[in-house]
Amino acid sequence: MSSHHDSDTNDTNSVVICSVCHSEIIDLVGVYQSPVNFAVVCKKCLTRFTRNDIEMMIGLFFLYGGYFGKLKNRTFSLNKVLSSMDMPINKEEVEEMNQRLMHQALIHGLRPFEFNKKLALYTGY
């Protein structure tokens, strides 16, 4: 009689990845789990970002993909990103453009407050 081993039923070696920075989470004690979509966030990201920023980032990465710092070795140019986008016509398009801009900043390793500072300098506000 042959025995059949189903590797899918042995879940003990599954790896948990941070939803913000994609680092492997070894110790699950003290991590954050989003009440919105149950995404798990590592302790390092918990100390770097506010809960509001974390929830916003989880949502943006779910919508547009990527993770914080994915492209950190590339220079983030607000001017280049803006020039590659169609200018919004209505309120919904403005909201989507803002989300896409923030997403681009995040995957380039800019924290939300750093992006907002850069945006303020760019717009003069």
Residue 90 counted as domain residue: yes
Residue 101 counted as domain residue: yes
Residue 3 counted as domain residue: no
Q: What is the pLDDT of residues 65-122, one digit of tens each?
A: 999 999 988 888 888 888 887 877 888 888 898 899 999 999 999 999 999 998 888 7
Average of per-residue pLDDT values in the chain = 86
Residue 58 counted as domain residue: yes
Structure token pair of residue 67: 């993770």
Residue 81 counted as domain residue: yes
pTM of the model: 0.79
The DSSP string of 43-78 is HHHHHHS-HHHHHHHHHHHHHH---TTTTTTSPP-H
Residue 5 counted as domain residue: no
- pLDDT in the model for residue 84: 82
Q: How many domains does the chain divide into?
A: 1
Residue 1 counted as domain residue: no
What is the percentage of the chain residues whose pLDDT exceeds 70?
88
Q: Are 103 and 66 in contact (CB under 8 A)?
A: yes
Domain that includes residue 48, residue range: 14-123
Given pLDDT bands bounded at 50, 70 and 90, which one contains residue 125? low
Query: Is the predicted pLDDT of residue 25 greater than 90, yes or no?
Result: yes
